[in-house]
Structure 1
Amino acid sequence: MRKPLVPALVVLTLLLAGCGPEKSGGSYDDINALRDAFIKAGGDCEEWDESNQVLGAAQSGDCGTDTVLSVYLTHDAVQQRIADTKDSIFSAAGGEWLTGENWVINTDDVRNLQKEMGGQIVSFGSDEEE
């Protein structure tokens, strides 16, 4: 007698649903947790400096000259940081950020990071999509 395929498909679906990053990117308690997740997702951070210099961020730091990580107290603070940057001269420089519920990563390869960490990509510059 053949076993029904439906229970096996239900189990497989449940297993797959638990895999992969949260679409929102989730949130992090502090900058060190974000840095650790960034590294686990394939980011390079050999020269960590928790400088706390990003405007509006609760904590921030950089991994050398090409990567800045920041965590915020609220999602609204992240959205304000994005709006402020889009309204500034820095927007013309272009680039993309990977953003989550309470964090921002500014680095070269946000697309591959997104596959591992989830989150939304925000684009700046002349090729912005609004």
Structure 2
Amino acid sequence: MRLLATIIAAVLLLAGCGTDDKQTAESTPAPTSPAGPPTAEKYQTVEALKDAAVGFGLSCPSWVQDNAVQAAAESGTCSDDSVLSTYATDADLQFALENLQGMNEMAKENNVPVDPQLIGPNWIINAPGADKLAGKLGGTVER
């Protein structure tokens, strides 16, 4: 199984070489693995992440890319309670996850509901219903 995953990764890597078509790399739906849910993709832009999420059912009535999330390469909001962000490095993503975890703990201590977060390899969707996107986008659901 690990050999098959390595071969698939190598084929996908080689398939991406020599193309300037950002649309393909930015918005390709996550493939479904034979063993379960899709493998989460990396997104080059927060706009591409938003487009994929909306395509799979995320409500996004008023998109604003504001790049306000600390440590994010790009970020934006779909509404007052929906934030999407992409990260340039694993360290930036981990920093954001630690901050998010701290905010979630404070909210829970104050009996404030916490929306689920869907975390991918270089992105976070923090929005009501984000957990419902995991079957299409891949990623890990956190609360």
Same fold (TM over 0.5): yes
Q: Of 76, 79, 101, which aligns to 1:86?
A: 101
Counterpart CA distance in 2 for 1:76 and 1:118 is 21
Q: Which has the larger radius of gyration?
A: 1
SS at match of 1:17: coil
Q: CA RMSD in A?
A: 2.2
Higher relative contact order (CA 8 A, sep 6+): 1
Please list the CA deviations of residues 44-90 of structure 1 after superposition, one character each: whole Å capped at 9, or x if unmatched: 112000011001100000001121100000223212111122234x5
1:99 corresponds to 2:116: no
* One-letter code aligned to 2:87: Y
Higher relative helix content: 2
> What is aligned with 2:23?
none
1:114 corresponds to 2:123: no
Equivalence map 1:35-74=2 (5 Å): 35-74=50-89
Structure 1 residue 41: Cα displacement: 1.1
Q: Percent identity?
A: 31
Q: Where does structure 2 lack aligned partners over 5 or more consecutive residues?
A: 1-31, 108-113
Please list the CA deviations of residues 94-115 of structure 1 after superposition, one character each: whole Å capped at 9, or x if unmatched: 3321010000000011221111
SS at match of 1:46: coil
SS at match of 1:95: coil
Structure 1 residue 31: Cα displacement: 0.9
Counterpart CA distance in 1 for 2:95 and 2:33 is 34
Counterpart CA distance in 2 for 1:71 and 1:37 is 13
Q: Where does structure 1 lack aligned partners over 5 or more consecutive residues?
A: 1-14, 124-130
Counterpart CA distance in 2 for 1:19 and 1:84 is 30
> What is aligned with 2:34?
17
* One-letter code aligned to 2:126: N
